[in-house]
Amino acid sequence: MKTYKQINERIESGKAVVLTADEIIDYVDKKGLAAAAKEVDVVTTATFGPMCSSGCFLNFGHSKPKIRMSEALIQDVLVYTGIAAVDVYLGATQLRHGDPANMYYPGEFRYGGGHVIEDLIAGKSLQLFALSYGTDCYPLREIRTYFTLHDLNQAIMVNPRNCYQNYNVAINNSDRTIYTYMGRLEPNRKNANYCSAGQLSPLLNDPYYETIGVGTCVWLAGAHGHVYSEGTQHAGQCKRTPGGVPTGGAGTLALTADMKQMKKEFVRGVSFPGYGVSLALGVGIPIPILNEEILKRTCVRDRDIVAPVIDYSSDYPQNTGKTVCQVNYEQLRSGEIEIDGKKVQVGSLSSYYKALEIANLLADEIRRGDFQLVKPIAALSKDEAMKPLVKRKQT
């Protein structure tokens, strides 16, 4: 048994033993659980992939004369202005004004909110255009100017839903190509796409949310941020394997961090033809090895984690809840799975390569004493299920 305090003292003195969720598997195999639990202080987990429920609050400061922005665009991408005068929220999936979307199907969706966020972190100069109805205190009616991340008072990433605990594998049972947020799916189950870092993914290494909770310090695209709430659609009440690993989506995290500390390699705009735009993000989360049980759960392997295969031509859009079958991540990572005796080629939307890089970067920061762990101030719920939207008549 170790405490957060003891682990932090070891981190501070530069003596902490830190391994990635990838390395810990062999380490525990070799040393045994009891000995490894005594030696290892922290296991780092990570993921890198598209996370649509992401965005940021920006504060521009005041112009002379002042404006209360009522409509605003950054690089022609609409931002939300229904908050204070020069605060805006920029969302990852917002399309650029004038984008024909799927009018000429499949649309290209070359640039949107996620790309603006990438450009902002990359230090590019961006155009702000804002309108106002004008008030006695904020008389300016229109402004067009250029700014960089450095010019902003605050640029705070606030993501309502990141780090899905587990995720669907998408296939297409129909006879035409479909374009989804899980990529291009060829007809008659020609290919399948998945999106998870599997054995490296944060919540798959802490399936019962014993160490990851509200207040947990995270590495968000290079910045030190934290979990500010459970994520939207968090549903801790779910089917689990005997090892406790959810067999579907389940838990999610709401994350925040200062964008001025972020690294551009881990904040990338994405375009999905026929679907839209989003933002791919890198997240790293340390798991303190407080006891053997926690360590045991970080040793989860790709073959122990199963994901549901779902038909995105019918069952997903019609919300039938049906699953074609289940496959594990070892099978997915082999590049080929078998469904009803037919071989299906597999691609990934989540980058294991980047996740591994993040897990190692975070491990190095902890070893250097630059990243401390905190005990969550509240646990994530394990008994909430996901509710559907019901169409009701007015009463």
| Residues near other proteins (CB under 8 A) | 48-50, 110, 183-184, 191, 193, 268-273, 280, 333, 335, 345-354, 356
- Ramachandran region of residue 109, left (φ > 0), alpha (ψ -120 to 50) or beta? left
Q: Which is nearer to other proteins, 244 or 347 (CB)?
A: 347
Measured between alpha carbons, how far is 285 from 53 in angstroms, rounded to an integer? 18
Q: Minimum CB separation from other proteins for residue 24, in Å? A: 15
Min dist CB 149 to other proteins, Å, is: 19
Q: Specify whether 195 is catalytic.
A: no
Which CB sits closer to other proteins, 48 or 371?
48
Task: Let me know: does 137 contact 115? Beta carbons within 8 Å.
Answer: no
Q: How far is the CB of 23 from other proteins (least distance, A)?
A: 11
Closer to other proteins by Cβ: residue 203 or 349: 349
Catalytic one among 137, 163, 195, 217? 137
Closest among 120, 121, 116, 134 to 73, alpha carbons compared: 116
Alpha-carbon span 56 to 73, nearest angstrom: 14
Residues 6 or more apart from 64 whose CB is under 8 A from it? none
Residue number with CB closer to other proteins (177 or 323) = 177
Q: How far is the CB of 65 from other proteins (least distance, A)?
A: 41
The Cα 334–Cα 367 span in angstroms is: 33
Concatenated DSSP letters for 54-120?
-EEEEE----SS----SEEEETTEEEB-SSSTTEEEEETTPBBTT--TTTTSSP----BHHHHHHHH
198: left (phi over 0), alpha (psi -120 to 50) or beta: left
- Residue 45 near residue 359 (C-beta atoms within 8 A): yes
d(CA 179, CA 173): 13
Nearer to other proteins, 105 or 353 (CB): 353
- Quote the least distance from Cβ 49 to other proteins, whole Å: 7
The CA distances from residue 240 to 31, 153, 202, 379, 387, in Å, are 28, 45, 16, 19, 18
Q: Which residue's CB is nearer to other proteins, number 20 or number 53?
A: 20
Q: Smallest distance from the beta carbon of 217 to other proteins, in angstroms?
A: 24
Q: Which residues are catalytic?
A: 137
